[in-house]
Every structure is written in structure tokens, then in C-alpha cells.
Amino acid sequence: MEQTAEGTKLWCGAAMMMAWRGGWRGRKAAATGLAAVAVAQLVSNGVCKQLADRPRPPKQWFPHDEVEDRPDSSSFPSGHTAAAVAFTTAITPTWPLAGALCAVPAAMVAIERVQSGAHYPSDVAAGAAIGLASAWLTRRAPHLILRHWP
């Protein structure tokens, strides 16, 4: 699952399928989902990881070879989880069935980040919170801008 979620490939692929097969609703959900992913990545990887500089969990905690392939960046927060939650949360109000289908791989990404030794559970929780906030901001931004536009 990590390979598929790397670089947001999974969410870009889901957005392409939604835009291709979902008509106007699919295109709207896909655009909103990708915008939320961009915000989540900016916040998690562009800001929070630079400020936190938290080391990854100790390698000896994990009895498998996956732990050798971990990134060197800060453990806090999980950018993979932030992207997964942002995409899923952002598309759900527009297309609930697609949101429900994306919730399964999103949960798998979050679980895998801890299981692989790449993150502590708190890193994943923080990533999920960033994803939720990014989706909310992405969905609300047009209304907020128009309401405060002179």
C-alpha cells in the first residue's frame, strides 16, 4: 500500500477515475480532493516536518526488513495519512459512495505507516487531523472568500 500511496499516486489515480466516470459530480469531487491533498501536503511536509524534526521510531522495535526503507525526513506528522484523509474527506460530501470506497485504502495507509515502522501512532493521528482540516478548508474556502469579498 505504501508504494501506491507514495507521491499521492493513489489519490491522483482515484481522481482521474472519478473525473472520467463520474460526470460533473466526479469532476467536482476530484478537483476538491486534489486541492485538499495539495493543502495537506503543504502543511504536513512543507511546514510541520520542517518544524518538528522528530526521529523515526527505533528500528529494533520492528522485526521486519521494511524498516530499512524508511525516509530520512521527520517522522511527525505522517504526510501519507494527511493526503489520504484529506482526499477522502474532501470528496465525500460531493460523492458519498466514492468517499466510502476511498475510506478503506485511506485507513490502510494510516495503519501501514505505523506497522512499517515509519511513524509513531501520534504522527498518524496528527496527519489525520491535518487531512481533516485541509479538507474542511478546501471545501469552505470559496464560501469564505465570497462572503468577505468587497
* pLDDT tens sequence across 64-109: 666 666 677 888 999 999 999 999 999 999 999 999 999 999 999 9
pLDDT for the residue numbered 64:
65
pTM of the full structure: 0.88
Q: Is the pLDDT of residue 3 over 60?
A: no
CA distance 20 to 18: 5
Query: Peptide bond preceding 57: is omega within 30 degrees of 0, i.e. cis?
Result: no
Confidence of residue 5 (pLDDT cuts 50, 70, 90): low
Residue 120: strand, helix, or coil? coil
| Residues in CB range of 148: below 8 A, 6 or more apart | none
Burial of residue 106 (CB within 10 Å: 0-12, 13-18, 19+) is buried
Pick left, alpha or beta for residue 77 (phi over 0 → left; psi -120 to 50 → alpha; otherwise beta). beta
What was the pLDDT predicted at 4?
53
Predicted local confidence at residue 97, as pLDDT:
96
pLDDT at 106: 95
Distance of CA 69 to the CA centre of its chain: 20
pLDDT at 51: 93
- Look at residue 67 in the predicted model and tell me its pLDDT: 61
Task: Fill in the amino acid letter for 127.
Answer: G
Q: Cα 127 vs. chain centroid, distance in angstroms?
A: 7
pLDDT given for residue 26 in this prediction: 96
* Contacts of 61 by beta carbon, 8 Å cutoff, 6+ apart: 117
The mean-pLDDT minimum among 12-16, 52-56, 66-70, 101-105 falls in 66-70
